[in-house]
Amino acid sequence: MATIIDGKELSRKKRSEITAQSEEFARTYGRPPGLAVVLVGSDPASAIYVRNKGIACGQTGIRSFEYRLDEKTTQQELLALIDELNGRDEVDGILVQLPIPKHLNEKEVLLRIDPAKDVDGFHPFNMGMLLMGSPTLVPCTPRGIMEMLHEYGVEIRGKDAVVIGRSNIVGKPIALLLMMEHATITICHSRTRDLKDKIKRADIVVAAIGKEEMIRGDWIKDGAVVIDVGMNRSETGKLKGDVEFSEAEKHASMITPVPGGVGPMTITMLLDNTLIAAKARLS
Ligand code: GUN
């Protein structure tokens, strides 16, 4: 049976370190680190994420500024808010919850955020620095995954890592981070042929597709490490991963559960990125 990679427990540990650092920041600079979170529209999943981010800030001594904008917000209104937040001294990090409504231009929005406050790491400057091997602010989910692999002593150098999903949020950046630590990377996606065969060869599997239990447990090589980024609401209302956990845990040496794996670490890394941005701005 596999070791369960406990993202909740690791988050608790990291968050207590972050709290101590936020308190020290506040003592030094006379104000806490600040994170602005912008939600446009009323997507229920996004609303839950944004609420959880606000709660997590409160628990770690980070001041949270929440903006809930109407579904019909115009591009100009959203850009004007970002400009205002870019200019506000007590805001160290800015996050626009994705997806935003279809009438808005996401690329233009992400480009408008000051790269020094881009705690999501989605701005082309930060993405480009990561691509060049000099990471600045790194996207939160991939950072959380690397923290878990390090904490559990997973050897990465020389290993075959298969990433399923090619998003800017997870797939591309996690592939780069694993490559920087000398893994050999295969990035798979919806048009990949023989997905099962590729996964069967992987020492490290990162699943970020968004399809409930699409990766069958018996595709996992014996001894592989499985990281499941999936957060799929099943018909019964339960949260399910992209990997068939019940069967995969019989083959894997380590595996992340859903919930309680990658999810909590993503928010923890957002808090940490906010602290990093705050320190970098003021020092
Ligand atoms: N939507 C899903 N994941 C994320 C994330 O990490 N950041 C933002 N801003 N939106 C998301």
In a domain, 14, yes or no: no
Would you say 239 and 262 are in contact if contact means Cβ atoms under 8 Å apart?
Answer: no
**Are 148 and 69 found together in one domain?**
no
Whose C-alpha lies nearest to ligand 1, atom 11? 98
| Residue burial 131-159, b: 16+ Cβ < 10 Å; e: rest | eeeebbbbbbbbbbbbbbbebbebebeeb
**Are 69 and 146 found together in one domain?**
no
Give the domain CATH number at 59: 3.40.50.10860
**Are 155 and 254 found together in one domain?**
yes
Per-residue pLDDT at 87: 98
Amino acid at 216: R
Per-residue pLDDT at 283: 84
**Are 65 and 175 found together in one domain?**
no
Residue 114 CA to residue 277 CA, distance in Å, equals 11
**Are 99 and 152 found together in one domain?**
no
Tokens representing 17 are: 């370190």
Q: How far is the CA of 13 from the centre of ligand 1 (A)?
A: 23
- How many other C-beta atoms are found inside a 10 Å radius of the C-beta of residue 44? 8
**Are 145 and 245 found together in one domain?**
yes
pTM of full prediction above 0.85: yes
Would you say 33 and 274 are in contact if contact means Cβ atoms under 8 Å apart?
Answer: yes
Per-residue pLDDT at 207: 98
Q: How far is the CA of 97 from the centre of ligand 1 (A)?
A: 5
Amino acid at 217: G
Q: How far is the CA of 46 from the centre of ligand 1 (A)?
A: 8
Q: What is the mean pLDDT of residues 50-78?
A: 98
In a domain, 129, yes or no: no
Per-residue pLDDT at 162: 99
Measured from the Cα of 140, ligand 1's closest atom is 6
Q: Tens of pLDDT along 207-249? A: 999 999 999 999 999 999 999 999 999 999 999 999 999 999 9
* DSSP state for residue 243 in the 8-state scheme: B
Mean pLDDT of the chain: 98
**Are 107 and 205 found together in one domain?**
no
pLDDT band at 262 (very low <50, low <70, confident <90, very high): very high
In a domain, 132, yes or no: no
Tokens representing 79 are: 């850009």
In a domain, 147, yes or no: yes
In a domain, 168, yes or no: yes
Per-residue pLDDT at 257: 98
In a domain, 4, yes or no: no
> Residue with structure tokens 């309680």?
260
**Helix (H) or strand (E) run with residue 20 in it:** helix 7-29
Give the domain CATH number at 148: 3.40.50.720
**Are 165 and 53 found together in one domain?**
no
Ligand 1 probe mutation, 66, 120, 262, most atoms within 8 A of CB: 120
Per-residue pLDDT at 6: 98
Q: Tens of pLDDT along 135-193? A: 999 999 999 999 999 999 999 999 999 999 999 999 999 999 999 999 999 999 999 99
**Are 144 and 186 found together in one domain?**
yes
**Are 91 and 171 found together in one domain?**
no
Report the domain count for the chain. Answer: 2
Collapsing DSSP states into helix, strand and coil, what is residue 10? helix
In a domain, 280, yes or no: no
Ligand 1 probe mutation, 50, 52, 95, most atoms within 8 A of CB: 95
**Are 81 and 156 found together in one domain?**
no
- Structural domain that includes position 187: 140-263
Catalytically active residues, by annotation: 53, 97, 120
Residue 19 CA to residue 31 CA, distance in Å, equals 14
Domain boundary among 80, 114, 148: 114
Per-residue pLDDT at 43: 92
Per-residue pLDDT at 259: 97
**Are 160 and 222 found together in one domain?**
yes
* DSSP state for residue 33 in the 8-state scheme: -
**CA 272, 278, 280, 283 torsion-angle sign:** negative
**Helix (H) or strand (E) run with residue 4 in it:** strand 3-4
**Cβ partners under 8 Å of residue 90, min gap 6:** 31, 34, 63
Domain boundary among 59, 79, 114: 114
Q: What is the mean pLDDT of residues 11-20?
A: 98
In a domain, 240, yes or no: yes
Q: What is the mean pLDDT of residues 243-263?
A: 98
Sheet holding 34-40, edge to edge: 63-69, 34-40, 93-96
